[in-house]
Structure 1
Amino acid sequence: MQDKIQSRREFLKKMAITGSVATLAASPWLSAFAQSSTAGKNASDRVRLAVIGTGSRGKQLLRLLFEITESSNLEIAALCDVYQPNLQETKKMCKEQNMNPVLYNNYEDLLNKEKVDGVIIATPLHQHAHIAIDAMLAGIHVFCEKSMARTLDTTKAMYDAHKATGKILQIGHQRLFNPVYLEGMQRIHNGELGKLGQIRAYWHRNNDWRRPVPDNTIEMERFINWRLYKEYSAGLLTELMSHQIQVANWALQKTPVSVTGTGSIVYWKDGREVNDNVALIYSYEDGTQFIYDSMTSNKKYGLEEQIMGHKGTIEFETNRYYTETPPPAPGILQLLNDMESGFFGKVMIGGASWVPETAVKYNGEPIIENTDFYDTALQLEGFAKFIRAGKAPESLTREGYNASIWTLLGEIAIETGEKLTLANKYKI
């Protein structure tokens, strides 16, 4: 990983020098890295962070923090988890890095006892809101994994706490820091794809999404496999789709006006409560549609976001741009040349169709050439720099909020079978 982190840094440094990716310079949240604020910290001050929630995602974030600790002048001051096996495993990970954070089983104790600048929340979804709100009220900046919260009301409460306290609330939508997406969005917003007519996205897997449970109790099953139960998660929607509706909103620079959807449990009939396949249509005020589907019993198509305009298409996950006027295939080109030179003579009007209207095989071109980076590491570096500046671009928080709100409204649309709009009290 260290080699890849270093390669990513060199790549971004090169882009900053050459200007080959204009969005990295123009993006409001990246340009904010250089800002300072009396509410922030001096460049030489160490940023002290705590990680709350040390499960699979928390461990991955911790590994990335290890890689940027020195370059971003960070200290991992504390770890917190109610589940001892996870906490002890992360303690061991830190010890291997010669780090000795204080361990807590209760996040309130951590907030009260540790003088940290920021917390990283990677707990199950239903625990996000109260932890984030308590942290901001305690004067601590927050990085919270997506989605923001389990309900519309608790999501809005998180946003309101951010506005009331002035503390950073950064949500884990790492694509906002991904150079492929930054460059692609620059092209989209500059009109290179023309008028956007439709956005399609999907996320397909083939696994049961279950994790081993150390005993056979119902309580432990729900604790470990919280993603499968509606009390704690909206399943495919909050865990996966929330990323992709954020991309759609970003591309269109607006939020939907309505959503309709359907879903069911068609394959994994194992006691889970969340759907194993979903399909939704989000409509925007100009008539553009965001069409989404996700499933967990077939992985052939993987995941993708397809942004389609009358001049071209961008597929972000595979880093491809396709123009609507690709170069003609060599065989067709020769045929056209032969026609122009009169080789074929006259073609009868009523004759057979000799040029079939089939798709031209065209592999497109990369959006950017080098993709050797971790966008989540870039996002964590951003969080540290925002803390040092004392503020973060409000657009980041709004992206996370709108993605979360419309994800949850999509869940309600599936459950009710109705076409839904967003109540005014949730609009920001």
Structure 2
Amino acid sequence: MTDTDFELSRRSFLDRVLVATASAGMAAAAPWAVSAAGAAPSKTDRIRIGVIGTGDRGRTLIQNIAKTRNCMVAAICDNYAPHLEKARPYVGATTRTFADHRAMLDAGGLDAVVIATPLDRHARHSFDAFDAGLHVWCEKAMGRTIADCGAMVKRAQDSRKVLQIGHQRMFHPTYLNALRRTKAGEIGSITQIRASWHRNNSWRRPVPADATDRQINWRLYRDSSAGLMTELATHQLQVGNWFLDAVPTRVMGSGSLCFWKDGREVYDHVALIYEYAGGRKLIYTSLLNNARYGCEEQIQGSKGTIEPELGRIYQEIPAKVLALQRMQKDVARGHKRTVPIGGATWFPELPVTTPGESLGWGEYDETLLQFEGFGEAVRAGKPLPGLLAQAYNASVASLLGEQAMDRGTALTWPTSLVAI
């Protein structure tokens, strides 16, 4: 698969990329991709979606939905009027608007809802949608507690409705290609993944006169968010579980309010180690006062490294043979050669800077693509296989990591999780 194969628009994504990655190994690792590959989204009879939450993320999702071939925004809802007003330019003049999500659900005319509200409201909003007979697409993380996450899964199962969580990397062609090449053995056995999401900003937003700090800056308070763990880490923990084809056995970590001492309750600096069977590890860090390394994953195998966020694959380079070591081997073999007196006897083990090989990059928006997959799942009345389990395990991993940091001890993977 070359760069040319990946110069794709969203129009050809489902037909070309997913079919190309639907090998036996990929079918096991990304069954939702294989399922979506067989779909043929229609421009007619679009899935009617009501969006609950029209803040910054909600408005972005509205724009994504509007570009799909099989979904449309039929209603929007937010209990904060300025957010609702900002969303109006992105929807049609006849799109209904509501200040209460229950009023929107009661009004009918919807097939599904999109939930883009603060984390602690995800469970309640999804329950109300399921009770109204609707399918649900919900922003990650799933819920504020592990119990909430499990309850959301159970309610979706009992109502026989689709619950899809916004982990867009599972629809990203570059990540799918990276996974395909990993499953083909190109980087050997994976023993460690290093992931980071570093930013240099406070995360604090200005509070208008008609709002409260908890309303606008809900990500900074423990009752409504786990901060870096639920807002960022869930994405990369999902990637780690996906590429290691497992869930962690235990996690340990340290979190601190290290830089932004402004009254927030969530950590601004976290460092964790997730252990997997066979001694494999995912090492994760996230902080809010240095953006040098940004967002990345380094998937390290015995034969090479894949960095899907950067779209590159690197092969391991054989270690350099020192001059004295080479002479020793020559003597043992009875060979003679000139030995430079000034030859290096030690090389610093600096990072390898070879350019590697491209995994492919194209003009597509994976957030939009996941909505086309959601639309087909709603049309079929059944979820894309394997997708919810990945999201659930990523949310559990993020919340377990929060608990491990709070308690200052290693925690094992829960044994009483909901079966998916």
Report TM bin, short chain: 0.7 to 0.9
Deviations along 1:145-185, one digit per CA (max 9) or x if unpaired, are: 00000011111110111111121110000000000101111
Question: Contact 2:221 / 2:266 at 8 angstroms: preserved in 1?
Answer: yes
Aligned length in residues: 399
CA deviation vs aligned residue, 1:217-274 (integer Å, no higher than 9, x gap): 8x70111000000010000000000100000000011100101111111111111011
Select the residue among 160, 167, 172 that pairs with 1:173. 167
2:286 to 294, 297, 312: 294
Q: Which residue of 2 is the match for residue 106 of structure 1?
A: 100
Report which stretch shifted further, 239-248 or 24-33: 24-33
Map 1:261-340 → 2, pairs under 5 A: 261-325=253-317
- Kept in 2, the 8 Å contact 1:42–1:388? The answer is no
Contact kept? 2:174, 2:359, Cα under 8 Å? yes
Indicate the residue corresponding to 1:397 in structure 2.
388
1:92 matched to 2:86: no
C-alpha distance in 1 between matches for 2:113 and 2:165: 12
Asked if 1:377 corresponds to 2:378, the answer is no
Compared CA separation, residues 201 and 298, structure 1 to 2 (3 A): same
In 1, Cα distance between equivalents of 2:338 and 2:383: 68
Please give the secondary structure, in 2, of the residue aligned with 1:120.
strand
Q: What does residue range 19-418 of structure 1 map to in structure 2 within 5 Å?
A: 21=21, 26=27, 27-33=30-36, 44-68=44-68, 71-72=69-70, 74-94=71-91, 98-215=92-209, 220-325=212-317, 345-347=337-339, 353-354=343-344, 356-358=346-348, 361-368=353-360, 370-418=361-409
Contact 1:227 1:233 in 2 (8 A): yes
Q: Distance in 1 between matches of 2:49 and 2:17?
A: 28
Range moving further from structure 2, 177-186 or 352-361:
352-361
- Residue 188 of structure 1 and its aligned partner are, at CA, apart by 1.4
Q: Secondary structure of the equivalent of 1:135?
A: helix
Q: Which residue of 2 aligns with 1:336?
A: none
Unpaired runs of 5+ residues, structure 2, are: 1-6, 324-329, 331-335
Residues in 2 aligned to 1:356 and 1:92: alpha-carbon distance in whole angstroms: 64
Deviations 1:77-100 (A, max 9, x none): 110111011111212322xxx442
Structure 1, 203-212 or 100-109: larger mean CA deviation: 100-109
TM (norm. structure 2) is 0.87
Q: Kindly state the Cα deviation for residue 353 of structure 1 after the two structures are TM-superposed.
A: 4.3
Contact 2:153 / 2:418 at 8 angstroms: preserved in 1? no
**Structure-1-length-normalised TM-score:** 0.86
Contact 1:137 1:161 in 2 (8 A): no
Please report how far the alpha carbon of residue 303 of structure 1 lies from its aligned counterpart in structure 2 after TM superposition. 1.0
d(CA) in 1 for partners of 2:394, 2:23:
22
Percentage of pairs with the same residue: 43
Paired with 1:228 and 1:386, the residues of 2 have a C-alpha distance of 34
SS of the residue 2:177 aligns to: helix
SS in 1 for 2:297: strand
**Contact in 1 for aligned 2:22/2:34 (Cα 8 Å):** no
With over 3 angstroms needed to count, the CA separation of the structure-2 counterparts of 1:34 and 1:357, relative to structure 1, is closer
Instruction: Report SS of the residue matched to 1:301.
Output: coil
Q: What residue is the counterpart of 2:327 in the other structure?
A: none
In 2 relative to 1, CA 136–181 (structure 1 residues): closer, same or farther, beyond 3 Å?
Answer: same
Contact between 1:23 and 1:183, CA under 8 Å: does it hold in 2?
Answer: no
Please give the alpha-carbon distance, in whole angstroms, between the structure 2 residues aligned to 1:49 and 1:201. 34
Q: Is residue 8–residue 362 contact of structure 2 (8 Å, CA) maintained in 1?
A: no
Cα separation, 2, equivalents of 1:188 and 1:102:
46
Matched residue SS, 1:286: helix
CA distance in 2, matches of 1:10, 1:48: 20
| Distance change in 2, residues 1:234/1:13 (3 Å) | closer
Shift of 1:21: 4.8
The 8 Å contact of residues 54 and 81 in structure 1, kept in 2 or not, is answered as yes
1:353-390: per-residue Cα shift (whole Å, max 9, x none)?
4365355531111112x332111011111111111121
> Kindly tell me: are residues 224 and 23 of structure 1, through their superposed partners in 2, closer, same or farther at Cα, counting changes over 3 Å?
farther
Which residue of structure 1 lines up, in the alignment, with residue 4 of structure 2? Answer: none
3-state DSSP of counterpart to 1:317: coil
| Cα separation, 2, equivalents of 1:34 and 1:419 | 41
Three-state SS of the structure 1 residue aligned to 2:51 is: strand
How big is the shift at 1:275? 0.8
Q: Distance in 2 between matches of 1:23 and 1:207?
A: 42
Q: CA deviation at 1:15?
A: 3.6
